[in-house]
Amino acid sequence: MESIIEVFQPSFERYGYLIVFAMGILENAAFVGAVVPGDVVLLLAGFYVQRSGLDLAPVIILAFVGALIGDTIGYTIGRLGGRRIVERFGGGRILPHDRLERVDRYFKEYGMWAVALGRLAPLVRTVNTFAAGMARMPFGQFIGAVTIAASIWAVAVPVLGFFFSGSLEAVKSALGWVGVFVFVVFVGALYFTYRRFSSRLAAEALRRRADQ
């Protein structure tokens, strides 16, 4: 684990703020989050706040602003050209007309909850804003939900990395590498459970609406 952190540390020390800001934008605007979730970048940024010249406040602010910009771009793409994009790239097979109508009804019924919960779940967040735009969700509701969810995400993830970095050294000195391993597994399980719960909640809401 230390070797992985050390590999990326020079890049974050030199371009850390730019990496955080760019990832916040590209994760949803360019669907980069389907390959590298922004959570990974923010966790690493939190680590390097403890171990380099990065400061926590700029990391949080840049992640938040980047997320708002990226989400707005994803929404705009979906609103202006989402239907054409889906139909051109296999939408008739993957998302036939009746399913597109269900997506529309889902965002109309659940609105801000749909966007907010989807924004907190990796992978789901990558297409969530695009789908909201494609469903022509009112922009005021959309930006309100994204602002709330992005603020939670931009604060919680780097702060988790920040405290985890310090805790890693404390556990290592007290319990050795066995303790570090147990600590990593425990924190990872908590993180996975939280993400799985938020993803299932959003998926369950969509499934119930589709069955009606």
| Average pLDDT of span 166-194 | 54
Tell me what pLDDT residue 147 has. Answer: 92
Residue 65 has pLDDT above 60, yes or no: yes
pTM (two decimals): 0.71
Q: Alpha carbon of 187 to those of 46, 111, 167, 180: distances in Å?
A: 15, 32, 11, 11
| Average pLDDT of span 106-116 | 77
Residue 163 has pLDDT above 60, yes or no: yes
Higher pLDDT, 36 or 11: 11
Residue 175 has pLDDT above 50, yes or no: no
Nearest to 133 by CA among 35, 26, 28, 1: 28
Most confident segment among 26-35, 87-96, 203-212? 26-35
Lowest mean pLDDT among 36-45, 123-132, 161-170, 187-196: 187-196
The vertex-211 CA angle with 205 and 212, nearest 5°, equals: 95
Contacts 24+ apart (CB under 8 A), 31-36: 31/126, 31/127, 31/130, 32/126, 33/122, 33/123, 33/125, 33/126, 34/123, 34/126
pLDDT tier for residue 211 given thresholds of 50, 70 and 90:
low
What digits encode the pLDDT tens for the residues 198-207?
555 556 555 6
